Structure 1
Amino acid sequence: MKEKKKSGQESKMTILFGKKIFLGSCGIVLLITLMVLFNTQSILRDPQIFFYSLKSVGSPLLFKNESAPTTPAPECHLPPGWTSENSSQPLKSLHLPENNTCLNILIRRHCYKDNLTIPNVVHYVIFGHKPMQLFTYLSLLGTWKHIKPCFIVIHGDVLSGKFYEKFLTYRPRMIYVKKTPKVYIFGTKISYIQHKADVARMEIILQYGGIYLDYDQIPLRSFDPLRNHSLCMGQETGGQLGNGVIVAQPSAKFVKIWMETYHTYNPNQWAYHSTIMPYKLSRLLGHLVFIVQTFFKPNYLQIDQLYSRNIDWSTFYAIHLYGKIQMKTETLESIRYKDSTFGSIARYIVYGKKDLQKKSKVKLNDTTTKKS
């Protein structure tokens, strides 16, 4: 009897030991697979990023939106005149409340007509009402002329001022979506409006997809060649990816992981989560992001190349107008004679020609084709 009992215990121990070996083997195989997939050196260099990457595996909804639940849209129709090419009158803008599903519906209906992965809609975040400045006029006009989006969507406050009124004469399809800046992110207070805008652009691009632009980012050509990737970001410096341009499909995996890293957000680390963290993630998850070299060239360490020199920007997708202080005295008239990279870009956007004009010559006319 004792021998049978002992034999039974030994069998159970053998089975248990076998299960442990099996599970241990599976764990080793999984670990090796993940190390190959996520880059071994990056894991050892920054275990925190590996943790957030691992957390996302198999997770359909990594980012928990802390905003109010979305409300159904009773009607989602374009305003009168948006589909007409006969009128010369400025189009009426569409205004939507916060957390409304109408924008999702409109994007699905109108922004995938070329069957590319990323919808051709452009988003801006504007927190703080001020009359629109020249650099924002150049950004919006460059967007309308070169990206040719289905809509330009302003999240936050409504634009105004003489430059905005001038931009409306091009009959852009403008959508305003009310958006309240977040006060907290994963329990940590967001101290600066710039950091609130950083979080807002990620929420927007996760929910809707499309092209996010800072309001001083100037598009110089079509973004269509980039819109078959899941995500595109630009190299800013050696250790940073700029977040002034984000081109992404809705719910892009990389952006979900990036958002999760805000669990460690520290308001005293100015650019860590906005530009340094995505660079670190790109070293680990390079298969989830396509890096563009000509979104932020020249970068913020090379401002003299914008305002004091002339560089060849003919191959650039966009350029960032760092140094807005240098632009405070610029006007649509002064850019005609500005002998710099900024001057040639501004003339190209406004007048369709980048050539420097001498004051003694006949003025260029702003007669570029206006899109209906």
Structure 2
Amino acid sequence: MRRSRLTKLGCSCILRNKKVILRVATIFCFCKMIILCFPAKIKSVDINNMDKTRKDLTSRSKDISQLVENARKAANCSAEVNRSYIVCDRLPFTKIICGNDGEQDNVYNEYIVPNEVHFIWFGEEFGISHFFQYLALRSIASIQQPNVIFIHHNVHGNKSNLIWDRIMKEIPCIKLVWRKEPTTIFGHDISTHTLRSDVARLRILLERGGIYADIDVITLKPLDDLRNYPATLGRSLSNKISNGFILAQPGASFIRDWLEQYRNYEEGGKPYAYWGVNIPMQLYVRRRSAHLEDTNINRPNPWADGFDSTSTAHYDITDNFVLHLHPDGFVGGEWDVGITEWDEWRLRRLDSVYGSAARIAMFGSQELVFFPSEESFGMSPKQRVRSFPSIDEE
């Protein structure tokens, strides 16, 4: 009797366990089916995600190519075979398509860096009034097609001028955001607009993420290849990194560590540029927690490649993501060629690195633009910038 009861009890436990196992197996299969049918958005960088990134970049490039083609048809343009210019009845401006009121875009949604752009203007007067600044805003709007372009500023009163009015008329995704200019960092006074802007951009990127650009940076091709790195910057000199163009995900450790370095800041101590260009290089060397572009973000530039390198020189920018003009590097000096006064009528056929960048911003292509009654000419040969020595070799 005892054996029989034990046997029955054992069989009962087995049956109960089988039921539990069957239930667990059923739940597991059901969950697996849900995961397969409704995959979660992947925000980490892996091979599959990078493949998606490349596909999306191709799609965005195709969209831009179509906009260029449409603009050329509307302007009745014809391209000369094997020549670096086109002949048009009027200027072939590309259509600007951007803006989703800050919402995550639904087509290119596999990135850790938000598709939003940040510019900063701190000063007593609103100074976005030059044509190269128009090109900076137009280029990133038309080429990157962000959800929103924030211009953080501290200027009260009237902002109207010919360039700003044109910007607000043509670019639909710009949002002015009043922002109090930071005057201290970790209890230390910061007195210059430049240093305050340096601090503000890091705080904005740490909180929101996105793409920060100085107002003299012209975008030349889509930036999506860089949007799956936690942070991206470009070298300006062999031992310096520029803070004039930064991509970062919200809460990026590189940006947080960079801000933390300001605990050591002292007013009147190291020059303000030290905190913007030397500190990020030091952090990169120690931790490698960011992606660093050698030549495609901040080259050419006046300090590494000559004071005419971003205006009248002939550099190849085909592979560049952006061109940082740095007009402060030559305006007012012997290399000042009047860059701040040039507009579309001069730039459409200016055979130089700045002319090429400007035409990409306006027309989507480097090619010179002539009218039928004008004598045409081709573009000059281009030189490539020399790469810096490897950081590990220095």
TM-score under structure 2 length normalisation: 0.61
What is the deviation of 1:343? 1.3
CA contact (8 A) 1:124 1:155 kept: yes
CA contact (8 A) 1:123 1:155 kept: yes
- 2:298 aligned residue: 296
- 2:374 aligned residue: 361
Please tell me whether residue 114 in structure 1 is matched to residue 109 in structure 2.
yes
- 1:318 aligned residue: 322
Written as runs of structure 1 = structure 2, the 5 A alignment for 1:227-306 is 227-268=227-268, 269-286=271-288, 288-293=289-294, 294-301=296-303, 302=305, 303-306=307-310
Identity of aligned pairs, percent?
28
Whole-angstrom CA distance in 1 between matches of 2:302 and 2:106: 33
**Which of 113, 133, 158 lines up with 1:136 in the alignment?**
133
Range moving further from structure 2, 109-118 or 125-134: 109-118
Whole-angstrom CA distance in 1 between matches of 2:153 and 2:284: 29
Whole-angstrom CA distance in 2 between matches of 1:191 and 1:171: 33
Distance change >3 Å, CA 187–CA 112, structure 1 → 2: farther
Whole-angstrom CA distance in 1 between matches of 2:229 and 2:104: 20
Written as runs of structure 1 = structure 2, the 5 A alignment for 1:131-170 is 131-157=128-154, 160-170=160-170
Whole-angstrom CA distance in 1 between matches of 2:287 and 2:172: 37
CA contact (8 A) 1:127 1:156 kept: yes
Whole-angstrom CA distance in 1 between matches of 2:253 and 2:171: 35
CA contact (8 A) 1:130 1:160 kept: no
What is the deviation of 1:252? 0.5
What is the deviation of 1:336? 2.3
> Tell me, what secondary structure is at the counterpart of 2:241?
strand
Distance change >3 Å, CA 115–CA 355, structure 1 → 2: closer
Written as runs of structure 1 = structure 2, the 5 A alignment for 1:321-332 is 321-324=325-328, 325=331, 326=336, 327-332=339-344
Q: Which runs of 4+ in 1 moved over 4 A?
A: 106-113, 357-360
Whole-angstrom CA distance in 1 between matches of 2:251 and 2:103: 14
What is the deviation of 1:332? 2.1
> Tell me, what secondary structure is at the counterpart of 2:256?
helix
What is the deviation of 1:354? 2.2
Range moving further from structure 2, 351-360 or 208-217: 351-360
Whole-angstrom CA distance in 1 between matches of 2:238 and 2:229: 22
Distance change >3 Å, CA 216–CA 131, structure 1 → 2: closer
Deviations 1:151-194 (CA, angstroms, capped at 9, x unpaired): 00111147542222223343421222211111111121112110
CA contact (8 A) 2:103 2:147 kept: no
Please tell me whether residue 336 in structure 1 is matched to residue 333 in structure 2.
no
- 1:352 aligned residue: 364
> Tell me, what secondary structure is at the counterpart of 1:315?
coil
Tell me how large the CA RMSD over aligned residues is.
Answer: 2.6
Amino acid at match of 2:209: G
Q: How many residues align?
A: 261
> Tell me, what secondary structure is at the counterpart of 2:310?
helix
> Tell me, what secondary structure is at the counterpart of 2:341?
coil
What is the deviation of 1:347? 2.0
What is the deviation of 1:329? 2.5
What is the deviation of 1:267? 4.1
Distance change >3 Å, CA 112–CA 160, structure 1 → 2: farther
- 2:201 aligned residue: 201
Amino acid at match of 2:205: I
Deviations 1:115-149 (CA, angstroms, capped at 9, x unpaired): 21111000111112135211110100110111110
Distance change >3 Å, CA 153–CA 182, structure 1 → 2: same
Amino acid at match of 2:148: F
Gaps of 5+ in 2: 1-95, 377-394
What is the deviation of 1:351? 2.8
CA contact (8 A) 1:111 1:150 kept: no
CA contact (8 A) 1:137 1:163 kept: yes
Distance change >3 Å, CA 108–CA 354, structure 1 → 2: closer
Gaps of 5+ in 1: 1-90, 95-102, 364-372
